[in-house]
Amino acid sequence: MPNQKLYDFIDCIIGHSTDLICVCTDNGVIIKANQALADQAGCSSADLTGRSIGKLFTQNNKTLNDLLYSRVIGFENEESFISNIRQKNGRLMSVTWRICKIDEVRVISGTITKKYRSEIQADERLKAIIENASDCFFILNSKLDLIYQNKAASKKFSSPSFDEDSNIFFGSFPEETNAKFIEHFSNAFNSQIRLKFVEFSAVLNCWFSIEVVPLGDELNILVDDISDRIIDHKLNELELKTFELNLTKNYAVDVVIKDLLEGFESIYPSLTGAVLQIEDEQMNLISSSKLPENYLSQWRNQKVRISEVTDSGVEFLKKAVICYDLETDERWVNYKELLLCHGFRSCWTYPILSNKTKEVMAVFAVYIRENRIPTENESRSIARICNIIKIIFEDLKQDNALLQMNKRYEMVIRATNDAIYDWNLLSDEVYWSANLHTIFGYTPEEAHDTKHWWIRHIHKDDRAETIRSLRECLRKKESGWVAEYRLKGKDDGFKCVYNRGYILYDDLERPISIIGAIQDVTALKEREIEILEQNNKLKEIARVSSHDLRRPVTSILGLVSLLNKDDFTNESNRDVIDYLKLATQELDDVIHSVVNKTLQDKSFETSGLAHPSAEQKNSFRVALEEEMKGQSVKLNSN
């Protein structure tokens, strides 16, 4: 290999090796260093360029600096030695150093080790680095024939479909991708420029970062498996998209789930996903377009119920069930034909458990057209998808509960006919229900959203006392507040209201909001006043009428005392009874006169006293008795 080619080869390797490597002049000035060495020196590789090898590391490693400098300046033959590097944390790290000469430069490489390794030639050392590197390394000739691959490449790029003579690099990608490779590689050969790009291998189910370095008539290809990074990035994007769709509430749950499944299948083309939503002991299948329609129709026709699923199913066990072979797995004996006839050979099912009840809300099923179990990477991704599905269904349950609560809230508002309010004491915003318009004529928009509207519309005679009582409740940290006052309606009239509020406090006992209801009690107040006025009038009538009643009642009492109680057949009793009849008739006339006086007041007529009830008669009787207590007179209730 010509010197220039070796330099290019060293330049290619130096950037990817984890060993500590640098190239310096024969007088110890560093020409180039890799990042691994720069990291140990505590700077960038660019900062090392032009620095003396005797000042490579910090003063903590002065002995090593002097040793490296002396070996470079006094170099005669390739040699190796072991020395320690003191790291930033104070720990010592054993390093095996090798120094070789290429033309007029010195190549220094250090391998972190605890054991001494025998000397090897510089070119063999570089080959050993490549052979044992964790990244995959290929060399192609000008005809794009594979002439070398390291251990990592042989292990990573392995498939049952490859025979011994296969080009495992090209065999790992589809023909259309290989056509792009040929174009890229030809350009690299012709222009002698490096290329770097990313490709997906469906055969290996991996994403690769591919760097192509042309060296003369050969291509050095460094391949790094970046599947974890790519999949993590794609899953992050899928999560964000799914959550945005779910939060907008413009899409049905099955639409959001289908979009999630299609995103999952784009990341893992060999996998087909479906979600079995469980509602009212019934399974509802939600899937992407990858599942055959005749399979979906067969599933719908099955109408599978939870009670019919075997006790070994994921719904019963509440843990993942990995079926390697549908044809032989007893757990799928009743349903395997639905999948086998469509080419599916394995099925992995995962329960979606409710955080609160731990009940199975849904099942995430993954169908595969080969017999296998999930890889570690697939298992991590499936766990993330399951978590997204859980969040979607938990949100759905909360939305349904909130919807039901809102319906009940609306029904309560309609039933009570109260104006409900929610006053945020921190922001001073007030929410009013629609009944504010029903009762007072104001729309919630007209009422504005602050306390000032409410205060301004309280009757001026009631305002100070109402505010004082509320402040007193807040001062005493009381949870309930009740007040009666007059509130101005849109027609400028005032309504009597009964305000009940519940005060909420934070952890520091600071009031944060008041939730309450304002009830229109105007009619009750008016009725109360009317009844009081009627009672007063009844008392006045009773007071005046008692004087008219005393005469016949006194006559009756006197006549009763004249009766001969020992001999009721006494002739004198006949005369007394005749007088009693006259006195009784007089009493009856007086009572009718009292009733007629009462009826002259229209308020009594409208209140029902024109045809008095038994209760009203009794009330009037009690009033008369009170007026005639001094005379020891009792009236018969009949």
pLDDT score of 117: 39
To which residue do tokens 């590789």 refer? Answer: 45
Strand order across the beta sheet in which 346-353 lies: 282-287, 271-279, 360-368, 346-353, 321-323
One CATH from 3.40.50.10330, 3.30.450.20, 3.20.20.150, 3.90.600.10 for 420-520: 3.30.450.20
User: Cα separation of 172 and 212, whole Å?
Assistant: 17
Per-residue pLDDT, averaged over 303-332, amounts to 68
One CATH from 3.30.1330.10, 1.20.120.140, 3.30.450.20, 1.10.10.10 for 136-225: 3.30.450.20
To which residue do tokens 């009763």 refer? Answer: 560
pLDDT score of 40: 85
Q: Is the pLDDT reported for residue 309 higher than 50?
A: no
Average confidence score pLDDT of the chain: 79
Return the minimum-mean-pLDDT range out of 115-119, 179-183, 202-206, 299-303: 115-119
Cα separation values, 23 from 16, 50, 130, 200, 290, Å: 15, 11, 18, 36, 56
To which residue do tokens 């009572």 refer? Answer: 591
- Domain 231-400 matches domain 420-520 at the CATH topology level: yes
User: Does residue 14 contact residue 26 with C-beta atoms inside 8 Å?
Assistant: no
The fraction of the chain above a pLDDT of 70, given in percent, is 79
One CATH from 3.30.1330.10, 1.10.8.100, 3.30.390.10, 3.30.450.20 for 3-123: 3.30.450.20
Report the interhelical angle of 227-248 vs 253-267 (nearest 10°): 170
Q: Which CATH superfamily is domain 231-400 in?
A: GAF domain (3.30.450.40)
Q: What is the token pair recorded at 614?
A: 């038994």
* pLDDT band (50, 70, 90) for residue 459: very high
Report pLDDT digits (tens) over 415-433.
677 888 889 998 888 888 8
Backbone angles phi, psi at 194, to 5 degrees: -80, 150
- Other residues' Cβ atoms within 10 Å of the Cβ of residue 540: 11
Q: Is the pLDDT reported for residue 1 higher than 50?
A: no
User: Cα separation of 534 and 605, whole Å?
Assistant: 11
User: Cα separation of 65 and 576, whole Å?
Assistant: 149
User: Cα separation of 527 and 549, whole Å?
Assistant: 31
Q: Is the pLDDT reported for residue 237 higher than 50?
A: yes
User: Cα separation of 455 and 222, whole Å?
Assistant: 77
Kind and range of the H or E run holding 513 = strand 511-520
User: Cα separation of 222 and 120, whole Å?
Assistant: 24
Report pLDDT digits (tens) over 329-358.
887 877 778 788 888 999 998 998 888 778
Find the DSSP H helices in 162-303. Answer: 175-191, 227-248, 253-267, 293-302
- Name residues whose C-beta falls within 8 Å of residue 221's C-beta, 6 or more positions apart in sequence: 137, 138, 139, 140, 169, 210, 211, 212, 213
Q: What is the token pair recorded at 538?
A: 């009844």
pLDDT score of 163: 53
- Name residues whose C-beta falls within 8 Å of residue 444's C-beta, 6 or more positions apart in sequence: 431, 432, 433, 434, 436, 437
Q: Is the pLDDT reported for residue 177 higher than 50?
A: yes
pLDDT score of 120: 38
- Going from N- to C-terminal start, the domains of the chain cover 3-123, 136-225, 231-400, 420-520, 525-631
Per-residue pLDDT, averaged over 100-128, amounts to 67
User: Does residue 136 contact residue 152 with C-beta atoms inside 8 Å?
Assistant: yes
For residue 430, the cross-strand partners are 423
Per-residue pLDDT, averaged over 257-267, amounts to 90
- Tell me the residue type at 23: V
- Compute and round to an integer the Cα radius of gyration of the chain: 50
User: Cα separation of 633 and 627, whole Å?
Assistant: 10
Cα separation values, 603 from 50, 346, 527, 530, 599, Å: 114, 89, 12, 8, 9
Strand order across the beta sheet in which 105-112 lies: 30-33, 20-25, 105-112, 92-102, 79-86
